[in-house]
Amino acid sequence: MSTHIIAIANQKGGVGKTTTAVNLAAALALKKKKVLLVDLDPQGNATTGSGINKSDIQTGVYQVLLGNCDIQAAKLFSKTGRYDVLPANRELAGAEVELVQEIARETRLKNALSAVKKDYDFVLIDCPPTLTLLTLNGLVAAKDILVPMTCEYYALEGISDLIATVRKVRQVINPKLDFIGVVRTQYSNKSLLSQEVSKQLHEHFGKKLFNTIIPRNVRLAEAPSFGQSAIHYDPKAKGSIAYLELANELLACYRNEKKGE
């Protein structure tokens, strides 16, 4: 199996990018896949959510982007999730400014990944809620984009900016970049609005919408404070089961792709 490099992106904040990244990484690891989770967000939530203490990080994605360190040296192992993490800490916020002056600034992550991607089945990139240079590095390094969306009124608002950015990235630098799919998150089956927006997303995205819906589930919100994915923290929780299903659906997508469907 070749390496699937997936950017988890949506410039809208709080839609479940990090929750999806951490739980999908843990779910894929549980299915015996070798996974690298790249934390491209200066908030470092994917790092702490994987059980890694930000103050323990000597070198991380910041040093990698600036070319001061390679991924092999910077990666850490999530003992809870059983996957590798290229961690972030607050220094990463400065990378935006420092990278602007560098050459090949959009391809830094892609170049760094080329040396290690053979070691992994999946590389998941947790992007920040912006469309700036860090996310651009994610979109240039990735083959596929997975977009988490909440089922609320403004769900589709702003997605056109992401689509426009993806179009530009395709034209200029990464022609094979593709949407693997949109995943509905924080869904409440008691809410009529959730149901209505979910239907709209179905009409809008058709086959590109994952069948699996991630419910609003308190276990998913609690798990990061224990440095764990929900799948590890409470495997029987509805949210954990949904992320395991999402991992199955993702694997099936790639199997079908291989068959040329």
Given a contact cutoff of 8 angstroms between Cβ atoms, the answer to whether 86 and 37 are in contact is yes
Q: 188 to 217, contacts with ligand ATP by CB under 6 A?
A: 214, 216-217
Q: 123 to 182, contacts with ligand ATP by CB under 6 A?
A: 129
DSSP string, 125-158: EE--SS-SHHHHHHHHH-SEEEEEEESSTTTTTT
Tell me the closest approach of the beta carbon of residue 36 to ligand ATP, in angstroms.
18
Q: Which residues pair with 125 in a beta bridge?
A: 7, 38
| Contact region with Mg ion (CB under 5 A), list: 39-47, 137-145, 159-167, 252-260 | 39-47
Instruction: Assess 221 for contact with ligand ATP (CB under 6 A).
Output: yes
Instruction: Assess 47 for contact with ligand ATP (CB under 6 A).
Output: no
> Any idea what the Cα angle at residue 231 is, between residues 53 and 162, rounded to 5°?
75
Torsion of CA 6, 7, 9, 15, to 10 degrees: 50
Tell me the closest approach of the beta carbon of residue 136 to ligand ATP, in angstroms.
16
Under DSSP, the state recorded for 188 is -
CA 182 from chain centre, in angstroms, equals 12
Instruction: Name the residue nearer to ligand ATP (CB basis): 117 or 227.
Output: 227
Instruction: Assess 17 for contact with Mg ion (CB under 5 A).
Output: yes
Instruction: Assess 14 for contact with ligand ATP (CB under 6 A).
Output: yes
Q: Indicate which of ligand ATP, Mg ion, none lies near residue 16 (CB less than 5 to 8 Å, by partner kind).
A: ligand ATP
Among 1, 2, 13, 94, binds ligand ATP (CB under 6 A): 13
How far lies 115's CA from each of 70, 122, 127, in Å? 9, 14, 21
Q: Which of 89, 92, 90, 91 is nearest to 109 (CA)?
A: 92
- Judged by the rule CB under 5 A, the positions of this chain that interact with Mg ion are 17-18, 45
Task: Point out which residues bind ligand ATP (CB under 6 A).
Answer: 13-19, 41, 45, 129, 185-186, 214, 216-217, 220-221, 224, 239
